[in-house]
Amino acid sequence: MGLLQPESGLLFWMTLAFVVVLVVLARYGFPVIVKAIESRKEYIDSSLDAAREAEQKCATLEARSREIINEAEVRRNEILREADTERKQILADARQKAESEGARLLEKSRLQAETERTAILADAKREIAALAVAITERMLRQDLDNREAQTQLASRLMEELDPKNRKTWTPD
């Protein structure tokens, strides 16, 4: 006989050996194998859950980082606008201060020039008056020696002082 046509005894012992192996495996091997497979399945499921959770955290962190970057850009732009506004304000204040200081110095110089002009004119009037008195005194000494010259001078001065005949002095 061969393997292709087994005898009934061989078939019985093979079946019995198979059943014994199957019972031993079912009793001791399969629970361990099933437990190991379930443990592996739980580990894979927990790893997948952890990966999903990590992916969600990554997405959340990425969104938060984009939000922080956008906030930083907005704040930077705001700071730049404030700095530009402050710079313009400082320049305007400095310009206005310089203009007011220039106007004050100009007014001070104008007042000083006016004061000096007034002082020069007053000094010139005093000198002219002193010269006029000196010249008149000399003329009067010469002309007033006789009575007739005194009378002519008095009448001529009266005519000049008369408002109808008064001529205003104009420099040449």
The DSSP line for 103-144 is: HHHHHHHHHHHHHHHHHHHHHHHHHHHHHHHHHHHHHHHHHT
More confident residue, 92 or 2: 92
Please compute the mean of the pLDDT values over residues 80-85 and round it to a whole number: 96
Domain ranges of the chain: 24-161
Please compute the mean of the pLDDT values over residues 112-135 and round it to a whole number: 86
Structure tokens at 77: 């732009």
Terminal-to-terminal C-alpha distance of the chain? 167
| Local confidence band at 170 (pLDDT 50, 70, 90 cut-offs) | very low
Please compute the mean of the pLDDT values over residues 10-29 and round it to a whole number: 91
Q: How far is CA 96 from the centre of its chain?
A: 18
